[in-house]
Structure 1
């Protein structure tokens, strides 16, 4: 069996393993193995193949260390900014609201203005367990 076939199979195996892990370092190693396969296919010797693959892996690893792949910092709620209707106030900050056809416990996170009656509609700005965090104005997007 030719060297380039072994390199390409190794590269595909590493890229496939990357799909299970998700850190991108195995993908860099898979690309490096693919480069080793291209060098082997070009007819260069095994030391040159190994050197090309190693340099590609090292360069890719340094690149990943300098440019980390950013991911969202946790689950993003689709409820943020949605309007809720006040059913009744339990206290100055605790209330019961109606959202999606169901009653929810809610907590007011910011002070209301002193212009008379409390609002009948508030906006979701967060969630703590099963308690919605609400405010009189929608969150900034």
Structure 2
């Protein structure tokens, strides 16, 4: 098998790993490996092929990192329902005292704080955030 075949085989293996990982970084490395195959097809010597693959892979990875796809969304875990199962649930508040209350939630007493701008009236409130052992609620 020619050198370009090994490069393409390595790129295919990395693409298969990419499909399992769900990130684009391995795809950028596969692009580098494919460029190594192109260098081999052009008749470059093996050290040049490795250099081309490495440079293209690093540049592609850096470009991905600077793009909007390379940055994860920064979400506060205290207010993210995908991280905290309490966010989005409801609690029944019978009485407020200085925008705080104590409620029974999941079999325990919790401190509840009213979100800014919400009215402190008895009723059912939705949990918007969890700060330590305090539930931040609003309508």
SS at match of 2:73: coil
C-alpha spacing 1:94/1:62, structure 2 compared with 1 (3 Å): same
C-alpha spacing 1:81/1:20, structure 2 compared with 1 (3 Å): closer
TM-score, structure 2 normalization:
0.61
TM-score, structure 1 normalization:
0.61
Please name the residue that 2:8 is paired with: 8
1:33-80 alpha-carbon deviations (Å, 9 max, x no partner): 11322453xx42124745653452243133124225222335521654
How many positions carry a matched residue from both structures?
A: 128
Structure 2 unaligned regions, length at least 5: none
Q: Map 1:111-122 onto structure 2 (within 5 A).
A: 113=119, 118-122=121-125
Instruction: Report the structure number with the largest CA radius of gyration.
Output: 1
Q: Map 1:80-91 onto structure 2 (within 5 A).
A: 80-86=87-93, 88-89=94-95
C-alpha spacing 1:33/1:127, structure 2 compared with 1 (3 Å): same
Distance 2:52 2:129 in 1: 51
Q: Does 1:36 align with 2:43?
A: no
Q: Is the 2:89–2:126 Cα contact (8 Å) retained in structure 1?
A: yes
Please name the residue that 1:64 is paired with: 64
Distance 1:110 1:36 in 2: 57
1:20 Cα deviation from its structure 2 partner: 7.5
1:91 Cα deviation from its structure 2 partner: 5.0
SS at match of 1:77: coil
Distance 1:55 1:110 in 2: 52
C-alpha spacing 1:98/1:62, structure 2 compared with 1 (3 Å): closer
Please name the residue that 1:107 is paired with: 112
1:134 Cα deviation from its structure 2 partner: 1.1
1:97 Cα deviation from its structure 2 partner: 4.7
1:6 Cα deviation from its structure 2 partner: 0.8
Distance 1:54 1:16 in 2: 19
Q: Is the 2:112–2:135 Cα contact (8 Å) retained in structure 1?
A: yes
